[in-house]
Amino acid sequence: MAWNLSSDRPIFMQLIEIIQLSILSGKYAPGGKLPSVRDLAAEAAVNPNTMQKALAQLEKSGLVFSQRTSGRFITEDAAMIEELKSTLAKEKIEQFLESMKQLGYQKEEAVTLITEFLKGEPS
């Protein structure tokens, strides 16, 4: 997983997003065990306390849960995972449409461009 962290936003928020994407993309399977805080922190090159803060926030959301002495695991709630996936996809679509609007395209024109692009037709 790419840990491309920037200084423009809090690191722990970026860690949350990266771990969420790893879960949604299937890198971490529902019910699967997450690496330890120290392992994740080392992989991301961040302080373990920062990683702990991110994981605690993921626990609050219900996406991750702890089992005493066993570590942290991904929720087995497939509906929760699908709902998060759908929510994030809608946010990306909104961001894309806003970018297209700034370029002077209306929604319908953006959809036409996407359709042409997917068909392989030149624009």
Q: What is the pLDDT of residues 32-77, one digit of tens each?
A: 999 999 999 999 999 999 999 999 999 999 999 998 889 999 999 9
Measured CA angle at 72 (ends 68, 74), to 5 deg: 135
DSSP 4-16: ---TTS-HHHHHH
Q: What is the DSSP letter of 76?
A: -
Q: Please enumerate in sequence order all residues whose Cβ is within 8 A of that of 38, keeping only pairs 6 or more positions apart, or say none.
A: 48
Residue 10 vs residue 3, higher pLDDT: 10
The per-residue pLDDT for 3 is 84
